Amino acid sequence: MRRRAFLLAASGGIAGTAFSAPRASAADGIEVDPAAFLTRRLQGVLLGTSPAAEPIPVARLQAVLTSAQADFRACRYLELAARLPELITAAEAAHGRSSAPASAGIVTQSYNLATRALIKLEASGLEWISADRAIRAAADANDPLALAEAQRLLGSACRRAGDYGRARELTLTAADQLDLRGKSPEPRHLALYGVLMCSAGYAAARASDHDRASDLLNEASATATRLTDSSARQALAANVVSHRVSAEYVLGNAGSALQHARIARLGQFADTERRARFLVDVALCFAQWNKPDRAYRTLLAAERTAPGEVRTRAAVRHLVSELLQHPRQASLPGLRQLAIRTHALA
């Protein structure tokens, strides 16, 4: 029965998987904590406590991966948590049977997706496991893009652990493996190169190296101008602005960060997740600038854009907790209700 339900999901017949996502609000009226649900579900598959799965044809696995990626981009993290562990176990089973590059690629991308989700949560160590497994699977996938993304995410795990130098070097090494030869490099390689420069620049900022961060982000910006597809160029340019905001924030330059933010238009971001992530980072800058009212209003705008992002991301919970302690918190109507929705209250 479990396998049949997964096959139905893979073929696109139903929205969920064998393990259904809980409703956003439980029967008792208490909202489900998406961060806790994500952690619990991914912990099961990453620590080996999930049941084994039967191999599934690669085409069906690809369909489920596409749905899981769409869940992430739309910040539907409860649905992602319900879908992703079954995808990982089925993809691992398929690859164990065939060892084909196609199945290895799906394993890699599934673990990459798990790492991207886990990095939004409080550090648990699970992100190290998923990042390492993605790297290992990528060795069999014969896909330099999947390998570079896996290395970037391993760098993100290093950055979270405070090893900023290793994070930057891992990311730059991944960039060196992309094929940018000729006047017209392959567009996907060029676009990912720009993303890697953004990540390396942010790692440099976390290491308090303003000049290096600026150089790397300028390289990312120059890369965006080389993209011939307008939507790809626009998406990378918006990503550069977002990383400039984040970099200035971690360097303690909230005013400069907000100057960068003013040139961004939400419609330029590639998807809901990136728009919401940008708005949360802008809220963090307002808080750093001691503008709690503007930080709060920006958080509410982010919640309207993507409730799942605001109610899942650990940085939001920390910010809401700080606002609750701010001397002017009484002037922020509805703050306590936001704290309940974001699970910021113990």
User: Which of 161, 186, 204 lies at the terminal end of a domain, its last residue?
Assistant: 161
Judge whether residue 16 has pLDDT over 60: no
Residues 142 and 9 in one domain: yes
**Is residue 28 packed enough to be buried (19+ CB in 10 Å), middle (13-18) or exposed (0-12)?**
exposed
Same domain, 257 and 127: no
Query: Using CA atoms, how far apart are residues 190 and 234, in angstroms rounded to an integer?
Result: 13
| Same domain (yes/no): 128, 260 | no
Q: Which of 178, 200, 204 is nearest to 191 (CA)?
A: 178
Handedness of CA 160, 201, 117, 137 (dihedral sign): negative
Question: What pLDDT band is residue 48 in, cutting at 50, 70 and 90?
Answer: confident
Residue 168 lies in a domain: no
Domain containing residue 290: 271-346
Q: What is the mean pLDDT of the chain?
A: 90
CA distances from 161 to 21, 123, 164, 203, 339 (A): 30, 8, 8, 11, 27
Query: Number of folded domains in the chain?
Result: 3
Q: How confident is the model over 98-107, as a mean pLDDT?
A: 92
pTM for this entry: 0.91
The arithmetic mean of pLDDT across residues 320-342, rounded, is 95
Contact 21/78 with Cβ under 8 angstroms? yes
Q: Are residues 199 and 328 in the same domain?
A: no
**231 and 189 together in one domain:** yes
155 and 180 co-located in one domain: no
Domain for residue 27, yes or no?
Answer: no
Whether residue 322 is predicted with pLDDT greater than 70 in this model: the reply is yes
5/120 same-domain check: yes
* Structural contact between residues 119 and 155, judged by C-beta atoms closer than 8 angstroms: no
Percent of the chain with pLDDT over 70: 90
Amino acid sitting at position 78? L
208 and 154 in a common domain: no
Read off the pLDDT of each residue in 270-293 and give the average, rounded to a whole number. 97
Q: How far is CA 200 from the centre of its chain?
A: 16
Residues 138-184 have pLDDT tens digits of 989 989 999 999 999 999 999 999 999 999 999 999 999 999 987 88
Q: Tell me, yes or no, whether 229 and 342 share the same domain.
A: no
Same structural domain for residues 180 and 124?
no
